[in-house]
């Protein structure tokens, strides 16, 4: 088993503890889906207090790494014909992200048909000198990957597979189960409010990743527009 970069791991365990990681991923092919906009989002998030950034795409990682020293969780998303695995499915993706400047590389940590086995992706991340984060959906996979040296275990995929996850709230239960086993849990997925993020930390999460509620203007606007459209004026309202 490759040796984990202990110096980098120690730095990240210090700098990211009880912190906010902002996922700067615009809607695919949307108006904000440009490298310069991702860089602007990242810098604005850092100004607001983010201690880490989750960035998709090699070119985006490279551009953000040039303007900030904040740790970057790098991923590559792919739509594969023969697999549902989207997040960093190939070893070439790992190597490209490491070269681009990612400190942490996240990968899909679910037990589904995949082009490269999870442990081979984990090994490639360690070989590249980076720290690994597994985007998981279930307790067993997260625990297994942690036991094989994966530093960070995220609840990222809970709610996005066919494992009957909670439909609305974050998976607080999964956070608590992993915390009870001493894992460094990154709470991610449906943390749409500061209150939800704070609750994850109170439950023992190592840090919290927030994306749509901060960086996806289309999603935020839709939440408000839908709520307004479904509201009815008070019957005793007068003008």
Q: Does residue 238 have a pLDDT over 60?
A: no
| Burial category of 75 from C-beta neighbours within 10 Å (exposed 0-12, middle 13-18, buried 19 and up) | buried
- Structural domains in the chain (count): 1
- The answer to the question of residue 239 being in a domain is no
pLDDT in tens, 98-108: 999 999 999 99
pLDDT per position as a tens digit, 62-87 = 999 999 999 999 999 999 999 999 99
pLDDT digits (tens, 9 = 90+) for 179-234: 999 999 999 999 999 999 999 999 999 999 999 999 999 999 999 999 999 998 87
pLDDT digits (tens, 9 = 90+) for 94-142: 999 999 999 999 999 999 999 999 999 999 999 999 999 999 999 999 9
CATH classification at residue 192: 3.20.20.70
> What per-residue confidence (pLDDT) applies to 168?
81
Q: What is the pLDDT of residues 157-185, one digit of tens each?
A: 998 887 555 568 999 999 999 999 999 99
Residue 81 backbone class (left: φ over 0; alpha: ψ -120 to 50; beta: rest): alpha
| Helical residues (DSSP H) of 91-161, grouped into ranges | 91-100, 118-127, 139-147
Specify if 135 maps to a domain. yes
Q: Do residues 75 and 97 lie in contact, with contact meaning Cβ atoms separated by under 8 Å? A: yes
> Does residue 1 belong to any structural domain of this protein?
no
End-to-end CA distance of the chain: 72
Check residue 165 and give its pLDDT: 52
The reported pLDDT for the residue numbered 235 is 67
In a domain, 226, yes or no: no
Q: Is residue 54 assigned to a domain?
A: yes
Q: Other CB atoms closer than 10 Å to residue 239's CB: what's the count?
A: 2
- Structural domain of residue 160, as residue ranges? 6-217
E strand spans, 78-183: 104-108, 131-135, 152-154
> What pLDDT is stored for residue 74 in this prediction?
98
Please check whether residue 168 is in contact with residue 153, taking contact to mean a CB–CB distance below 8 angstroms: no
Cα 153–Cα 52–Cα 160 angle in degrees, nearest 5: 45
Amino acid 3: pLDDT: 83
Radius of gyration of the chain (CA): 18
Q: Is there a domain that residue 76 lies in?
A: yes
Q: What is the pTM of this model?
A: 0.95
**Within-domain flag for 236:** no
Task: Kindly indicate the confidence band of residue 239, based on its pLDDT and cuts at 50, 70 and 90.
Answer: low
CA distance 104 to 132: 6
The answer as to whether 231 is a domain residue is: no
């Amino acid at each position: 088993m490759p040796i984990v970069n202990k110096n980098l791991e120690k730095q990240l365990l210090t700098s990211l503890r009880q912190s906010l990681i902002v996922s700067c991923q615009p809607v695919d092919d949307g108006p904000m889906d440009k490298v310069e906009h991702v860089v602007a989002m990242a810098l604005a998030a850092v100004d607001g207090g983010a201690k880490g950034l989750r960035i998709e795409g090699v070119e985006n990682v490279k551009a953000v790494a040039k303007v900030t020293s904040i740790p970057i969780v790098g991923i590559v998303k792919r739509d594969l014909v023969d697999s549902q695995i989207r997040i960093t499915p190939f070893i070439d993706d790992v190597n490209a992200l490491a070269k681009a400047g990612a400190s942490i590389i996240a990968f899909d940590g679910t037990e589904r048909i995949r082009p490269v086995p999870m442990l081979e992706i984990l090994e490639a991340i360690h070989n590249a000198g980076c720290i690994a984060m597994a985007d998981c959906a279930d307790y067993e996979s997260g625990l297994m990957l942690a036991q094989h040296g994966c530093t960070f275990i995220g609840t990222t995929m809970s709610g996005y597979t066919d494992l009957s996850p909670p439909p609305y709230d974050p998976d607080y239960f999964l956070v608590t189960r992993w915390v009870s086993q001493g894992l460094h849990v990154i709470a991610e997925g449906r943390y749409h409010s500061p209150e939800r993020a704070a609750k994850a930390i109170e439950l023992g999460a190592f840090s919290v990743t927030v994306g749509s509620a901060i960086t996806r203007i289309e999603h935020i606007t839709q939440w408000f527009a839908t709520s307004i459209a479904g509201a009815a004026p008070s019957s005793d309202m007068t003008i």
